[in-house]
């Protein structure tokens, strides 16, 4: 499970339009999250920021992918999304350009996450989370209701955080 894809193979547009290869995050544990500014789960931005601040120095990144796929809950432009995240939640983790996480326009990253990661199934709502080991393998999936600072997510994250030499502490399976 989870070995079918490697997220490091993808390049994505950042919120400011620059292209970013996800291979730049090789050696780090990642939490990939589809986000929205007008959702009941939007306050999870605060938990994501806290999680990022807690574990960033240990080789962890949150990668946020705004998506407007659920009831128009992310209608803003890139600049509006950035301003919202900066002012409301003081987000310092990487914010990518808005993408689609379902349907015909689904971004290839999310097609792989939902069809080839070993944690398959459609994205049902905003703030679905995929935990990625430092080698680029998806090792866990969490639904919208899972708080980023919840014990379940944190224990899985701690199991894959890099240790000396950038290798994973364990295989979180």
**At which residue do the structure tokens 């639904």 appear?**
143
Is residue 112 among the annotated active site residues?
no
Q: How many CA atoms lie within 13 A of 63 on its CB side?
A: 26
Q: Is beta strand 19-21 parallel, antiparallel or unpaired with respect to 29-35?
A: unpaired
CA distances from 67 to 4, 64, 82, 166 (A): 24, 9, 13, 31
Q: Which residues of 45-54 are buried (b: 16+ CB within 10 A; e: fewer)?
A: bbbbbebbee
Q: Cα 163 vs. chain centroid, distance in angstroms? A: 21
Of the residues 12, 29, 30, 39, only one is catalytic, namely 39
> Cβ(118)–Cβ(145) under 8 Å?
no
Q: Provide the sign of the torsion angle of the four alpha carbons 3, 166, 33, 76, taken in this order.
A: negative
Contact 28, 60 (CB under 8 A): yes
Catalytic residue numbers? Answer: 39
């Amino acid at each position: 499970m989870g070995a079918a894809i490697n997220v490091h193979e993808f390049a994505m547009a950042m919120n400011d339009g620059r292209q970013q290869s996800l291979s730049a995050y090789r050696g780090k544990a990642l939490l990939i999250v589809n986000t929205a500014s007008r959702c009941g789960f939007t306050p999870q931005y605060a938990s994501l920021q806290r999680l990022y601040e807690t574990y960033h120095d240990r080789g962890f990144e949150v990668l946020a992918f705004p998506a407007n796929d659920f009831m128009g809950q992310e209608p803003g432009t890139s600049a509006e999304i950035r301003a919202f995240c900066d002012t409301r939640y003081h987000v310092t983790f990487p914010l990518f350009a808005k993408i689609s996480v379902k349907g015909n326009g689904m971004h290839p990253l999310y097609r792989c996450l939902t069809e080839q990661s070993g944690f398959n199934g459609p994205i049902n709502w905003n703030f679905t989370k995929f935990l990625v080991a430092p080698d680029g393998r998806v090792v866990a999936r969490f639904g919208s209701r899972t708080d980023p600072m919840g014990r379940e997510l944190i224990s899985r994250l701690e199991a894959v955080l890099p240790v000396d030499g950038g290798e994973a502490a364990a295989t979180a399976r």
